[in-house]
Chain A
């Protein structure tokens, strides 16, 4: 891949990320320990340390369109072990948030994006998660109608899937939170 570094764009992107992250990209010295311990590294297109370097170099497009930011499961193994105390897991959150705000649709990890959206929609309308509704909506949106279907009967039998959900009674207050911050 070829990247032409435009100093102004680079600085803008870096400062956007750093402001949201409350941390400095330059702290990372590229030792790779984060990537060494990342449980989902094997599925990623860029290792976590590459994501950091690319962000520092202002490579906005590849970073925001990467699989990596969506595959990260926020396990915090990276941040816990980083010798420089860099917020590796944090940068994944920040990049996901920027990508979401920009409306970037991941080509490969759309399902993860949809899941987060559907989840928050569920919270928005009920204040709490109603699992059956969450799963159903997610299935509809991802057109994965039958995935995991074989689990359902047994889960219902065991009482794990309830047929109705609880709602927060002061649902207005939840709506307000979403209005203010969404």
Chain B
């Protein structure tokens, strides 16, 4: 299996922890990936918000490079990137006129043959539960984990074709594999405000706050995510939300790769968990203490 890797901008910047932990976990699993050479930004929400053609052309360049380099599948760990790549792939595959217009501009052929996976899809389908299970050295028994899916992993279902859009379970399944307890709560797929983080912080804090307090109410120790945007809203803005609503949350938010890494016996430092804004020391100590 030749697997292309599309990191996207966040994993090289504010969400570097995601990439660090991802690479470590893949190393343990002995899976090789290759970064798409000279990849570019997918355009994220800005492109599809105001310029539809750009929102297809920018991801298309990456897809075309991957396809022309002989790859069959792309892993896009960032939920936003995977959503954009999947959407572009869908449109290029179903609209010949659009594909021609775009490949002409790129000056590269593209046959829309590539498969795009998000992080969860990749772990469950390509890696497999058994494989993951066999690497678990430090079961996370007794830890209560809430999986937050947000919007982009599951919606719109006609394009994402992944999990149940209203009641997704894939991340919870991964959580259960690690031995931790998956916490069920109603706000799993409610929006955190995502793209308007910078431009509409009040709205974003209201939305993210609702999610965080709901998780807290359902007794989780920890939140896992598979999206840098969700992570930055839930983690980076958490202090501010606590201040705004004068109620403590104190929920560490980590990436699913970090959770797997912990269960594989990797150290928090190797997984860059200390790169998060919300301090996770307490729960980490509990995990480490239990394994000793």
**Do A and B truly interact?**
yes
**Which chain A residues have a beta carbon within 8 Å of chain B's beta carbons?**
20, 39-40, 43, 71, 73-77, 79-80, 89, 93-94, 96-97, 100, 109, 111-117, 119-120, 123, 127-131, 135, 138, 142, 147-148, 151, 154-155, 158-162, 165-166, 168-170, 173-174, 176-178, 180-182
B155, B166, B199, B276 interface centre (most CB from chain A within 10 Å): B199
Interface check B120, CB cutoff 8 A = no
**With A40-B207, A76-B155 known to touch, is A173 a contact of B106 (CB < 8 Å)?**
yes
Which of chain A's residues have a CB closer than 8 A to the CB of B201? Answer: 147-148
Q: Which 10 A-B pairs have the closest CB atoms?
A: A75-B191, A76-B155, A119-B46, A129-B9, A181-B53, A116-B46, A75-B151, A180-B105, A111-B199, A115-B199
Additional A-B contact list (11), CB under 8 Å, known A79-B155, A148-B198: A39-B207, A40-B191, A74-B49, A116-B45, A119-B46, A128-B12, A131-B9, A160-B13, A168-B40, A170-B38, A173-B61
| B48-A159 in contact (CB<8A) | no
B194 nearest CB neighbor, chain A only? A73
- With the chains together, A4 CA to B201 CA distance in Å? 38
Q: By the criterion CB–CB under 8 Å, are B44 and A119 in contact?
A: yes
- Count A/B pairs, Cβ under 8 Å: 167
Write out the residue numbers on chain B whose beta carbons fall within 8 Å of the beta carbon of A75.
Answer: 151, 155, 191, 194
How far is the CB of A20 from the nearest CB of chain B, in Å?
A: 7
A128 contact set on B, CB distance < 8 A: 9, 12, 39-41
> Given the complex, which residues of A lie within 8 Å of B214, measured CB to CB?
none
The smallest C-beta distance from B16 to any residue of chain A, in angstroms, reads 6
Cα A159 to Cα B19 in complex, Å, equals 13
**Chain A CB within 8 A of B57 CB:** yes
A-B contact pairs, 28 of them (CB 8 A): A20-B52, A40-B203, A43-B200, A43-B203, A73-B194, A73-B196, A77-B189, A79-B155, A80-B156, A93-B50, A97-B49, A109-B200, A111-B200, A116-B49, A119-B44, A120-B50, A120-B51, A128-B12, A138-B199, A148-B201, A159-B275, A161-B14, A165-B13, A168-B38, A174-B40, A177-B105, A180-B105, A181-B105
Assembled-state Cα–Cα distance A74/B43 (Å): 14
- B-to-A contact residues, CB < 8 Å: 9-10, 12-16, 38-41, 43-54, 57-58, 61, 105-107, 151, 155-157, 165-166, 189-191, 193-196, 198-201, 203, 207, 236, 240, 274-277
Which residue on B lies nearest to A132, using beta carbons? B13
Q: Which residues of A contact B157 (CB under 8 A)?
A: 80
Determine the chain B residues whose CB is within 8 A of the CB of A40 once the complex forms.
191, 193, 203, 207
Provide the bound-state CA to CA distance between A75 and B105, in Å: 30
A71 to B201, CA, bound (A): 12
Do B61 and A89 have beta carbons less than 8 Å apart? Answer: no
Give the residue of A120, A130, A159, A166 whose beta carbon is less than 8 angstroms from that of B54. Answer: A120
- Nearest Cβ distance between residue B68 and chain A, in whole angstroms? 13
Contact B51–A112 (Cβ < 8 Å): no
Residue from A39, A135, A158, A174 within 8 A of B277 (CB atoms): A158
Across the interface, which residues of A come within 8 angstroms of B40, CB to CB? 123, 127-128, 168, 174
Known: A40-B203, A131-B13, A173-B106. A97 touches B52 (CB 8 A): yes
